[in-house]
Amino acid sequence: MSKAPAKPSTNQSVATASREAFAAWIDEAPEGRVFGQVLIRRDGEGGYSLRHRDDAGVVELDVHEEPREAREISKLTERGEYRPLKSSPNLRRGWELRMKDAHGLAVAMNYLYPAAQVHWHLYREGRLEVTSYRENAARQSGIYKRIQRLSDEGVQNAARACCKDAVCLKKTLWDVDEETPLAMDRGDGEIPCPEPCSVFVSFARRVRLFEREDRRDLDEIGLSPSEKEDLAALVETASAGKVEYAREAEFEEPLNERRLRYRRLTLLPKLRPAKSPKD
Ligand code: SF4
């Protein structure tokens, strides 16, 4: 997978300006602000209190005073699974970060939502550079190079399955290419997404494999081998009363949430043509 080239917008002065703008944005909201799943409030002593937004009224929380402790908080879900995508709505609860100033706030936020504060600031200023799917795909190499051949329809369905608020709280700014916008609700969150991320690229690779199957391996009723595999896994686990999603970025697993969301878009229309989901 390629790495995004370093951009001048991530230099020290942008980081400082972002930190100051973000702190000012919090300061002017007496009730606090929600950023991703984090509620940020002034603490009355010149500092900032951060917690999960669903813990707004909770009194007994694990208190942390070191910004770097946000790293551990952001690492695992409530169920103890690794979080490969920090903007997924699966931040665990039960903690409070007490930061003594805007610098501590910025460090903590950068662990909770890497690069989000800078992107937020540049987006508000109209200076955030956006990279389309096709531009990103053109930079890929090795096993990810094949995402260059993903169809426009495949990109659209992959984005609906992978990027909507139910599975990622960022606002999707990028398009398929300059002429082809993403046809979906891009999200309501404060954190902009200027370019397909590594989780999306990995998912796009899986969707490209599905597309290839669709073109050559359909059975007499029009189902591909992986569609049948997913249906069988669903029936098997549901009948045993234990349906659980696979890990977030394990797209090779039939019960992966994003994979199932993709099936909803592409398999349900085959099974129930009269009741096709809109997105
Ligand atoms: S590409 Fe999609 S999944 Fe990845 S961060 Fe952006 S909106 Fe979220």
228 and 177: one domain?
yes
Give per-residue pLDDT as tens, 93-107. Answer: 999 999 999 999 999
Query: Is 113's C-beta closer than 6 angstroms to any atom of ligand 1?
Result: no
185 and 120 part of one domain: no
Ligand 1 atom at minimum distance from 170 CA: 7
Digitized pLDDT (tens) for each residue of the chain, 279 residues in all: 554 444 544 577 999 999 999 999 999 999 999 999 999 999 988 899 999 999 999 999 999 999 999 999 999 999 999 999 999 999 999 999 999 999 999 999 999 999 999 999 999 999 999 999 999 999 999 999 999 999 999 999 999 999 999 999 999 999 999 999 999 999 989 999 999 999 999 999 999 999 999 878 787 778 999 999 999 999 999 999 988 999 999 999 999 999 999 999 999 998 888 776 656
Q: Where is the domain boundary, 124, 159, 183? A: 124
Separation of alpha carbons 249 and 150, rounded Å: 19
3-state secondary structure of 111: helix
* 170 CB within 6 A, ligand 1: yes
Query: 260 in ligand 1 pocket by Cβ < 6 Å?
Result: no
| End position of a domain, from candidates 124, 155, 187 | 124
Residue 147 shares a structural domain with residue 241 = yes
Judge if the beta carbon of residue 167 lies within 6 A of ligand 1.
no
pTM (two decimals): 0.92
Of the residues 176, 185, 197, which should be mutated to test ligand 1's pocket, given the most ligand atoms within 8 Å of the CB?
197
Residue 115 lies in a domain: yes
2 in a structural domain: no
Question: Which of the listed residues 170, 190, 259 should we mutate to test ligand 1's pocket, taking the one with most ligand atoms within 8 A of CB?
Answer: 170
Q: Rounded to an integer, what distance in angstroms lies between the CA atom of residue 144 and that of residue 130?
A: 20
258 assigned to some structural domain: yes
Residue 175 has what DSSP assignment?
-
Give me the numbers of helices (H) and strands (E) for the chain, helices first please. 10, 7
* Domain assignment of residue 106, given as a range: 8-124
Q: Do 108 and 241 share a domain, yes or no?
A: no
* Residue ending a domain, choose from 96, 124, 152: 124
